[in-house]
Amino acid sequence: MNYNLKKYFNNINFFFLFLICILAVINFFLDVPSAYIYIFCFLLIATVGVSHGAYDGKAGEILFLNKYKNWKFIFYFTYITLAILVFVIWYLNPLISLIIFLTVSSLHFGKEDLEIYLDKKYKINLFIFFLKGSLIILLPLFFNFEQTNLIFNTILFSKDYVLLSNNYIKFILILNLLMQSIFYLYFYLKKKLNRDDFSSIIFEIFLIIIIFYIFTPIVAFTLYFCFMHSLKNILLISNELNPNLFKGFQIFIKQSLFLTLITFFILFISLFFLIKFDILENAIEKIIFIGLASLTLPHIILHYIAENIKISKI
């Protein structure tokens, strides 16, 4: 099963490369208005992007159905309360909330990208996960510092805040890539990482660098989140549901479609409300990043509980 998943993941990376080429050509020849690009990114994230998180409802049923008679009320009440709590805390202290969100997201993205390749028993993996996931933050700051900083200021409800200076970003990014290279090379030489896995990790990092070099921060993040992070999670869930990927994917769609539509409706209503007080681009940035921050906390907690239950059964 692990071999098949790696094969699927590699196929996603090649599909991702093909998608980058197509979009790069479109980007070169067509001058698409910013508003259209933002709407397209919003639609992708609100559907494809959140769909793997929409499976959390079914995951909650699997975990808690036999433990609590009223599991639905307990699960959804806790899940929604945590999401609202993040939103309230963000409103009260956006800077601290952003720092926590970026840190947690870095660990989450890196873990989801790398855990299929790295042996889980090594504690150093957490640091490597953070290094890999933090590229999603460092690269847009490196290639598009001003534009990325404007996004940060939008979701911080500020106008002139600089999270990190440009010079620090260059140093941290170089150090990050250097340390990752050393870790992967060490694992490869110690035969804790085979050649195919080593090549897959390096190729994926290359793809992430390319998208943030070619596209604007919002487009690059959308591409990564929807077609690398979310798509791999969908394949992983589908594979767990049924070894036949097509059948597993059909089951996934049936079990996650309702919550995906509910989430899309909530995000759309929120956007409709926000554009009355802000320009479209800023409203979408707030919906995407603050909205994802609100959904990330209960999503990660559920995954943590699920993993610990699996480990306890081994």
Residue with the two structure tokens 């049924």: 242
- Stated as kind and residue range, the H or E segment containing 189 is helix 166-189
- What six digits make up the tokens of 262? 């509910």
Q: Give me the pLDDT at residue 211, please.
A: 97
Q: Whose CA is closest to 184, among 118, 109, 105, 107?
A: 118
Given a cut of 80, is residue 9 above it in pLDDT? yes
User: How many CB atoms lie under 10 A from the CB of residue 96?
Assistant: 11
The contacts of residue 177 (CB under 8 Å, 6+ apart) are 205
The pLDDT of residue 74: 80
Over residues 234-257, mean pLDDT: 86
Domain count, the chain: 1
pLDDT at 153: 93
pLDDT in tens, 130-159: 999 999 999 999 999 999 999 999 999 987
pLDDT at 280: 93
Comparing 267 with 165, the larger pLDDT belongs to 267
Query: What is the rounded CA–CA span in Å between residue 146 and residue 138?
Result: 13
Domain extent, residue 15, equals 2-313
Q: Report residue 182 as tokens.
A: 């050393």
Please tell me the pTM assigned to this model: 0.91
Triad 232, 281, 135: Cα angle to 5°? 40
85-105 pLDDT, tens digit per residue, is: 998 999 999 999 999 999 999
Q: What are phi and psi of 75, to 5 degrees?
A: -65, -55
- pLDDT at residue 1, rounded to an integer: 46
pLDDT band at 2 (very low <50, low <70, confident <90, very high): low
> How much is the mean pLDDT over the chain?
88
Cα 257 to its chain centre, rounded Å, is 19
pLDDT greater than 70 at residue 312: no
Residue 201 pLDDT level (bands cut at 50, 70, 90): very high
Average the pLDDT over 21-37 and give the result. 93
State the pLDDT at residue 18. Answer: 96
If we measure between CA atoms, which residue out of 111, 98, 192, 167 comes closest to residue 137?
Answer: 98
Let me know: does 170 contact 149? Beta carbons within 8 Å. no
CB atoms within 10 A of CB 152: 23
